[in-house]
Amino acid sequence: MSLLSIDNLQTHFFTSAGVVKAVDGVSYSVDRGEVLAVVGESGSGKSVTGLSVMGLIEPPGRIAGGSIRFDGKEIANLPQAQMRKLRGARIAMIFQDPMMTLNPVLRVETQMIETIKAHRSMSWNKAWAHCRDALGRVGIPSPDERMRAYPHQFSGGMRQRVAIAIALLNKPDLIIADEPTTALDVTIQAQILHLMQQLVEEDGTGLVWITHDLSVVAGFADRVAVMYAGEIVEQATTDGLITAPRHPYSRGLIGSVPSRNVRGTRLAQIPGGPPPPLNRPDGCRFAPRCTFRKQGCEAAQEIRDDVRCWRVADLPALEEVSA
Amino acid sequence: MVYIIRRLMQAVFLALVMSFLVFAGIFSVGDPVAILIDPEATQAERVRLVAQLGLDRPFHEQYFIFLGNVLQGDFGNSFVYNRPALELILERMPATLELAFASIVIAVVLGIPLGVYAGLRHGSVGSKTIMAGSILGFSVPNFWQAIMLILIFAVILGWLPVSGRGEVGQFMGIHSSLFTLNGLKHMALPAINLAIGHLALVIRLARSGTREVRAQDYIRFARAKGLSEKRIVMVHLLRNILIPIVTLVGMSFGGLIAFAVVTESIFAWPGMGKLIIDSIHLLDRPVVVAYLIVIVMIFIILNLLVDLLYSLIDPRIRLDEVRQ
Ligand SMILES: Nc1ncnc2c1ncn2[C@@H]1O[C@H](COP(=O)(O)OP(=O)(O)OP(=O)(O)O)[C@@H](O)[C@H]1O
Ligand SMILES: [Mg+2]
């Protein structure tokens, strides 16, 4: 039994302009100690999926269908009081912009200790020591002094480390990391990535790593789920996806990873943009941008061995993208 | 520390400029001798009085004499009451201060919860009702509102007295009508009348702050940590919406003290507002001057307090950066 398994999830926003099906039939699962990367363009529904798991979708949005099972228990549309007990204790989430995720007017110690006290009773002193150790563990120098500091006294990378320390405080079984390195410098990105990898390995935590940058994923994630316009178009092992992407969209993504391109050649890009969420084509949503499109794509929707492309078997063999 | 010293120097400079403006203004308004002297007085008596008051000296000399006296705490005697002007004002000040204080407390204690509620439940019936009420509170003319309050609560319902200040009680060495039931009853109507406009403003500020802050990532992260809704609102949200409210309260408090004239007149509240109106009518120069200078000092002190509060609420604001 998987730690988290999402099945045919539907999360919709009922706006005055119409129903935005931000997540439209997404299924994926993560085991303990496993790292699943969720990649896709902006607006494909990666964050909304993560927030649905956390029970943090706010009106006009709601989970309109499907199931989310965590540790064997159905948690989609769980009452807020029960969901609150899971959040931050058994499922933690880290967000993209470390400049914005810590409350600017509260000390780091306050923001850490409250995370413990929300879930178990512990003396302030004991909780404080525990939090200090957690800061040390994520590589913050002189944690004793830093406990009393305010977020603006940290650099971006250090703030993300604080956020990670907070997420790990109650030893969660699952962490959802929503592009936690996107806002950081490349060197800091690598450090944070390394840190996360090490921490989840030590604790045997399941990790959902949301990103729109495939190059971050290689050598880190066990599996990759590729999202496009509210759907998962392909799931594969990381090696499998990188060496042999099968869905035309994944092929395009791999083509646009810089390291696979020869220096000097232009970055391969998928022409066009994703369909507007209120007006998506029937059938294959990627069809309008697909180089392999032919008649019938506008009607087809089915998944053939883990790939949402009805013609996956007859697509031409992958050309070597790097010359 | 540097900041405090700089602020104090600014305050002294400001007080000097104000004292000059006030003095020059009053100087040009009218001749106090005309009021002070017995119409039957001889020319000799007249000249003697003018010399005694120093009114025969050139303007700048008069100003420096005045300044020297003020620095020693002497604002001169009231022409009308023939008592030290400052004493008259300080006598009336507690009544005005307690009224301003009570109405600010009403505005804040009701305004913040109502505004936060309206911001959190944006679009709900409760929220719409609160906002409609605040627009009303804004737009009703103050004197009409006062008359309506009197009509409803004093005349029709007969719950509250219409005018005057009630019994004064004592608590921790402070004398105020806030400490007796009778005093509170007398204060209720004028305080509510003064509070309504500010209440409407506090509601609007609290609501817009709440709507802005609750969409921030740190609120979402606080939810993701599993904090209770109560803690998120009371700790994470409230601290972040406080800055504009503190600014408003600081400014309103000064305004309430300086311009409570209408309310004080309608409710016959024996505060500074009534005294100053009477003094202006009678061209009681020392009282007017002393009053204006006291008000300027109050504004300066309030500004200083607001700046200090800023840095307590938001650690990103350092005192030396507040005003550069
Ligand atoms: N509160 C909301 N109201 C209406 N639509 C929303 C709301 N929140 C998200 N959406 C829609 O849901 C869709 C998916 O958004 P989501 O944030 O999950 O994208 P994402 O894949 O995380 O993109 P990014 O890489 O930019 O973070 C978008 O089309 C967005 O417009
Ligand atoms: Mg996102």
Question: Domain boundaries in chain B?
Answer: 15-71, 93-321
Give the pLDDT confidence score for residue B46 in this predicted structure.
Answer: 80
Atom index in ligand 1 nearest the CA of residue A179 equals 27
Instruction: Name the residue of chain B whose CA is nearest to A169's CA.
Output: B225
Residue A156 lies in a domain: no
CB contact under 8 A, A115 and B221: no
> Is 0.95 topped by the overall pTM?
no
Q: Please state the φ and ψ torsions of residue B207, each to the nearest 5 degrees.
A: -70, -50
Does residue A208 lie within any of the structural domains?
yes
CB count in 10 Å sphere of residue A158: 20
Interatomic CA distance for residues B220 and A87, integer angstroms: 11
Which pLDDT value is given to residue B323?
A: 45
Whether the predicted pLDDT of B34 surpasses 80: no
Q: Which CATH class is domain B93-321?
A: mainly alpha
Best-predicted range by mean pLDDT (A246-255, B50-59, B224-233): B224-233
pLDDT value at residue B119: 93
Determine the pLDDT at residue A322. Answer: 40
What pLDDT does residue A268 have?
57
Q: Is residue A113 part of a domain?
A: no
How many A/B residue pairs have CB atoms within 8 Å?
77
Ligand 1 site-directed mutation target among A44, A178, A181, A279, most atoms within 8 Å of CB: A44
- B293-316 per-position pLDDT tens digit: 888 888 888 888 888 888 888 888
Q: Can you tell me whether residue A76 is helix, strand or coil?
A: coil
Best of A105, A169, A171 to disrupt the B interface (most B CBs within 10 Å) is: A105
Classify each residue of B207-238 as buried b or exposed e, where b means 16 or more C-beta atoms within 10 Å of its C-beta.
bebbbebbebbbbbbbbbbbbeeeebbebbbb
Give the C-alpha separation, B128 to B308, whole Å.
Answer: 35
Task: Classify each residue of B30-53 as buried b or exposed e, where b means 16 or more C-beta atoms within 10 Å of its C-beta.
Answer: eebeeebeeeeeeeeeeeebbeeb
Cβ-based contacts of A96 with chain B (< 8 Å): 217
Above 80 in pLDDT, residue B180?
A: no
Q: In this predicted structure, what is the pLDDT of residue A45?
A: 94
For residue A117, give the chain B residue with the closest CA.
B227
Angle subtended by helix axes A108-117 and A156-168, to nearest 10: 20
Report the mean per-residue pLDDT for chain B.
84
Closest ligand to Cα A95: 2
**Does residue A25 belong to any structural domain of this protein?**
yes
Q: Is residue A155 part of a domain?
A: no
Cβ burial of A191 (10 Å; 0-12, 13-18, 19+) is: middle
In whole angstroms, what is the distance from residue A203 CA to residue A32 CA?
9
Please report the pLDDT score of residue A323 as a whole number.
36
pLDDT score of A321 = 44
Query: Measured between beta carbons, which residues in chain A are less than 8 angstroms from residue B226?
Result: 84-89, 115, 118-119
Closest CA to A34 of A214, A225, A208: A208
Q: Could you say which residues of chain A have pLDDT below 50? A: 261, 264-266, 320-323
The answer to whether the Cβ–Cβ distance between A105 and B314 falls below 8 Å is: yes
Considering every ligand atom shown, identify the ligand nearest to the alpha carbon of residue A11 and give its number. 1
Contact B220 A56 (CB under 8 A): yes
Confidence (pLDDT) at A319: 56
- Which of A213-217, B53-57, B146-150, B199-203: highest mean pLDDT? B199-203
- Chain centre distance of CA B171: 22
Contact residues of A toward B, CB < 8 A? 54, 56, 84-89, 92-93, 95-97, 100-107, 114-115, 118-119, 150, 152, 163, 166
pLDDT tens figures, B233-283: 999 999 999 988 998 888 888 888 877 788 888 888 888 888 888 888 887
Q: How many whole angstroms separate alpha carbon B198 and alpha carbon B249?
A: 8
Domain count, chain A: 1
Subunit contact B228:A118, Cβ cutoff 8 A: yes
Q: What is the pLDDT of residue B149?
A: 86
Chain B residues in contact with A177 (beta carbon < 8 A): none
- CA angle (B56, B58, B62) in 5-degree steps: 85
pLDDT value, residue B321: 55
Helix-helix angle B238-258:B285-313, to 10 degrees? 180
Q: How far is the CA of A111 from the centre of ligand 2 (A)?
A: 24
Q: How far apart are CA B101 and CA B16, in angstroms?
A: 28
Q: How far apart are CA B266 and CA B149, in angstroms?
A: 11
Q: Is B236 in Cβ contact with A119 (below 8 Å)?
A: no
B chain contacts of residue A92, beta-carbon cutoff 8 Å: 224-225
Average pLDDT over residues B123-150: 87
Place of tokens 């996806």: A241
Quote ipTM for the complex: 0.89
Please state, in angstroms and rounded to a whole number, the distance separating the CA atoms of residues B86 and B92. Answer: 10
- Judge: B239–A106 Cβ closer than 8 Å, yes or no: yes
Amino acid A264: pLDDT: 47
According to the model, what pLDDT value does residue A118 have?
95
- In a mutagenesis test of the A interface, which of B213, B223, B245 is the best target, namely the one with the most A β-carbons within 10 Å? B223
Q: What is the pLDDT of residues A150-178, one digit of tens each?
A: 999 999 889 999 999 999 999 999 999 99
Q: Do B221 and A86 touch (CB under 8 A)?
A: no
Residue whose CA is at the smallest distance from ligand 1 atom 10: A22
- CATH code, domain carrying A191: 3.40.50.300
How far away is chain A from the Cα of B226, in angstroms, using its nearest Cα?
5
Task: Give the up-direction half-sphere exposure of residue A79: CA atoms within 13 A in the CB hemisphere.
Answer: 2
Fill in the DSSP letter of residue A282: S
Which domain, by its residues, includes A55?
Answer: 1-90+172-323
Does pLDDT of B322 surpass 70?
no
Residues of B in contact with A152 (CB under 8 A): 315-316
Could you tell me which of B16, B120, B18, B7 has the C-alpha nearest to residue B71? B16
Which residues of B lie inside 8 Å of A (Cβ-Cβ)? 216-218, 220-228, 231, 235-236, 239-240, 313-316
Between CA B26 and CA B24 the distance in angstroms is 6
Rounded distance from Cα A195 to ligand 2 centre (Å)? 21
